[in-house]
Structure 1
């Protein structure tokens, strides 16, 4: 599974973390902006632990983050959000994507950190210094290093 960066604009909306349900959700700013990125084949997900990155099957574009993800504030750390560019990220893979089916992103040592002052959540495989960071949706930044997804940075609105 390889990730590639292309130019474009992030999907506008609101990323929320509901503490009572231990989960992220994304609400697009408009149905038109989301439907403009969806093909006719449906959506699938790639998984980082239990976090899901929604993927349009036809284009293989990563759209936004969502899903059950407990203990978001478990490890408090000083985090500086990475310098990121707006853009779009696409997946190339030998897997055939099917509606509603998820595939796990390679890597088994994802670390979660949270900065209470900036409210950023970082889910990192490693501290890659050569990664390029792309904001694919409001509140969602992906770190890509040599075609590999190495981090997901989330800046949600927290609700109880």
Structure 2
């Protein structure tokens, strides 16, 4: 599985983390904004453990991240704010993409870090070197090196802030 950066706008929306459910969810700013990104073949997910990257099957574009990621897996670290560019990320795989049938992202030794000062959560492959960071959706940044996914950066809105944004 390879990942490719294309120019484009990130999907606008709100990324939240529900402490009681131990999971992330993403809500597109509008249903029409999401519909514009979806083809007619449905969606599937790429898995990193229980965290999922939603992918449009027709375009093979990564849309957003969501899924279970309990706090107990987080290690506190000073991450700061990553230096990223807006864009879109597409995948290429030898496997057939089917609605509802998830694929594992190649790679092992993923580490979850949390920066309480900035609010960023980073899911990183251990021993990751520099990566090109691309914001694919509000609060969701993917890190790529030589076509491999090496990091996911998530910035959920603080609990209680979501209602204020809608």
**TM-score bracket, shorter-length normalisation:** over 0.9
- For residues 116 and 83 of structure 1, the distance between their equivalents in structure 2, rounded to whole angstroms, comes to 18
Q: CA deviation at 1:126?
A: 3.4
1:7 aligns with 2:7: yes
CA deviation map 1:21-41 (0-9, x unaligned) = 011000000111100000000
Match of 1:147 in 2: 147
C-alpha contact 1:128 1:150 (8 A) present in aligned 2? yes
RMSD: 1.4
Residue in structure 2 matched with residue 24 of structure 1 by the alignment: 24
1:134 is paired with a residue whose SS is strand
Residues in 2 aligned to 1:103 and 1:25: alpha-carbon distance in whole angstroms? 19
CA, structure 1 residues 120+131, in 2 after alignment: closer, same or farther (shift >3 Å)?
same
Q: Note closer, same or farther for the CA distance 1:26–1:155 as it changes in structure 2 (3 Å cut).
A: same
Aligned to 1:58: 58
In structure 2, list runs of 5 or more residues that go unmatched: 161-166
Q: TM-score under structure 1 normalisation? A: 0.96
**1:99-124 CA deviation, whole Å, 9 max, x = no partner?**
01111101120000000010000000
Higher deviation after alignment, 84-93 or 71-80: 71-80
Contact 1:19 1:158 in 2 (8 A): no
C-alpha displacement at 1:127, in angstroms? 4.8
Return the offset for 1:5.
0.1
Residue 41 (structure 1) aligned with residue 41 (structure 2): yes
Whether contact under 8 Å (1:120, 1:153) holds in the other structure is yes
Tell me the residue number matched to 2:128: 128
Runs of 5+ unmatched residues, structure 1: none
Once the two structures are overlaid, the 10-residue window that deviates more, 68-77 or 119-128, is 68-77
Count of aligned positions: 160
Q: State the secondary structure of the residue aligned to 1:33.
A: helix
Match of 1:92 in 2: 92
| Equivalent in the alignment of 1:111 | 111
Could you tell me which residue of structure 1 aligns to residue 164 of structure 2?
Answer: none
Q: Shift of residue 72 of structure 1?
A: 6.3
How far apart are 1:73 and its partner, in Å? 6.9
Scaled by the length of structure 2, the TM-score of the pair is 0.92
